[in-house]
Structure 1
Amino acid sequence: MFLQKRRQEQGKQLPFWELANQLAAEARKLLKYHRSLGVQVVIGGTRLPQEQRSMQANPCQILVATPGRLKDHLENTPGFSTRIRGVKVLVLDEADRLLDMGFRRDIEKIITFIPKDRQTLLFSATVSEEIHQISHLAMRKDYDFINAVQEGDEETHAQVNQTYMVAPLGLHLPILYDVLKKHVAEDAEYKVIVFCTTAMVTRLVAEVLSQLKLNIREIHSRKTQSARTKVSDEFRKSKGLILVSSDVSARGVDYPDVTLVMQVGLPADREQYIHRLGRTGRKGKEGQGILLLAPWEMHFLSTVNDLSISEAATPSVDSSIQAAVKDAVRRVEMKSKESAYQAWLGYYNSHKATNRDKARLVMLAEEFSQSIGLAVPPAIPKQILRKMGLSNVPGLRSS
């Protein structure tokens, strides 16, 4: 059994369906000449009855699962808990992230359903005290620890040419368009990922760039799972595409031959910056990474100053580019802009660097609203403001 995870994206579900599907695809390749052995995937976002029928109708010797959905089957699928008692191998993949996202209790419960006489493999990028604790729970006392990262090994980001640009929010979309346009012109086999702060900001940026006639695909947690799978598969196999993404594509996803990763806005933390960057410069190939920040986001650079990141000259975007972007923004639906504003406010309100001074946060949010063509920041439902802890904050309109 392979056990994979789900994550949260700024309070919204961020399924790791992509990693689970990749694991299952690789397992099926290995079983090409072993037709009697079957692989099944059970992940959140799909219909439980459909998975139940599939497991009943097809052989299942290897099961790839997210914790929540595996628990669903253990509790709601007749006979499943009995069948799982026959498990011979348990794999806990990316165990550190499973624990970070609060799945310890789920793991503990799942382990109670499977036999003690089994082989267990646990993989983790970091080895914290909690990892040691879950290792003692899931594995035998005499387990072997193998460090796969030897001293002196070059990390992926060392092969990526990293630069950053600093510009006011009002210039972020024009600069993004200018950089992408030049990159497309210089490399016929371009393959670009643009990372945005939230799902709704991702949708807005994708719509603007599509209006500008770039070859855009978008992927984020608000898309249906079938849509995300389709886009992910297309981007993996194709060239000449720009994928505008939330952090659903930031970690562990293997997209070959990505030529540029561009991050727009403040990354959640240093780790997230590195994971995003790691989508390019893979398997010994060179890559390029650009981080675009507002002047008040420059504090983030102190967390990555050991990664050979250097400042790039901010493009002097000419008036024709600015006019084209302004027209593209004007043609985007008002609902998309309002949703992006609300999501942007929620994201930066959750960031330690910007959530302490609410008056300043409101001022920055107004700057963002103007950058996406909203002269007046839209009203936000009172319930949402309460959840954000922003009720009765001067400058914010409620509905």
Structure 2
Amino acid sequence: MDNGYDNYYPRYQQPTSQNLLGSGWRPLHRHFDAQYFWQLALRDPWDLIQKALDVCSDVANAVGRNEYSPLANLLNLFSENTRYEIDEFWNSITPPPPGPDYTFQNSLSTETPIQQQVSRDQIPIDYVLNRLQEITVLKILAYLGRPAQIIQVFMDRYFYYPIERFSGWEQIRSLGTVYAFWPAHQIWLQIETTYQSRRRYTLMGIDLKPLIRKVTYNLAVMLSGYQSRIGQIQSPYPISSFPAEIQTFTDQVQQRILQQERLAVLVHGIPGTGKTVWTQAVAHELLIPLGYVVFILDHEAVQEFIPPPYLERVCLIINEADNLAQNRASEVAQQSSKTERILSLLDGTLHQSVLDEEHPHCEQKLVVLMTCNTTERLDPAVLRKGRVDLVQEFTHRYV
């Protein structure tokens, strides 16, 4: 008889080991190690004896049932329950397969695919930054290529995936927790399947910074309302096309970039003098080759942006700073917190006052490039010594 309720709510099928075996995984057999067993016996002999007696009792119960024939008892010895008890004892006296070292200082995690929450009242900054982190993790995995081993733990059983069959992480079926290892880089990968078949990739290593810097080379992020995007920085005019005084100023900027951990530069001039394209040229020709990731922030993004802590080198381009960091003596500035936000970005106090839990040892180099039409509307605190290091007026009209 057809039941409409059962059709509407299909029966849940419990995932089993057969699902993994059918998708290419193979059982991982643990081997006896005399030294490991001896250390185990010395550390807690009574616990070892108790486990041995328990498994012997289970075997005796399997073969000593009076109400069944000897053949039935023999078959029961090979049943799934008895096998599980024997495997559990074997796993307790044999060394486990190698797993990730959670003492590694560096880790980077992302859940993929990233889903965007659309809202009229919220600029999707979090989505773009999460997408950047996802891109970084996936690029690292693509760079690392085929690992030395792939192991999965499912229902207390270990499986391995034949390395020669590996063609990409999207092809790997996961029901439990997957671990992979690259010994040349000393990097572990942990994959956990989350809600609706989404996956969380976590990279753990002694030092992930060189890999992050390599895979984020030439990356730029524009945070501007619903036009936010991730791509490459564009530079329509090279530095050599600017007037001589601007090229000399650019040389000073380059020298300071190499000398300082934090640098803030302000260029001002009437519209059409090439301020914005100069910041793009500096980012493209000077900062990108040094491994900086460029963020172009508009007015709203400035209020919500915090530099991602896993990036070692960050460049912020803030255009029309005179409309952002206005003199707090004015009525307009008193109705907004943008001036304080700019000051905290320049000071670095916004994100250095609290250490990030996942990146406690991150030392981030920061370059801030700001443009404005006039410095008269800027809050005096912005131009105070120690916040803005270099100031230059642009007078040559490009447009």
Shorter-normalised TM range: under 0.3
Give 1 or 2: higher helix fraction: 1
The structure with the largest alpha-carbon Rg is 2
TM-score between both structures, scaled by the size of structure 1: 0.28
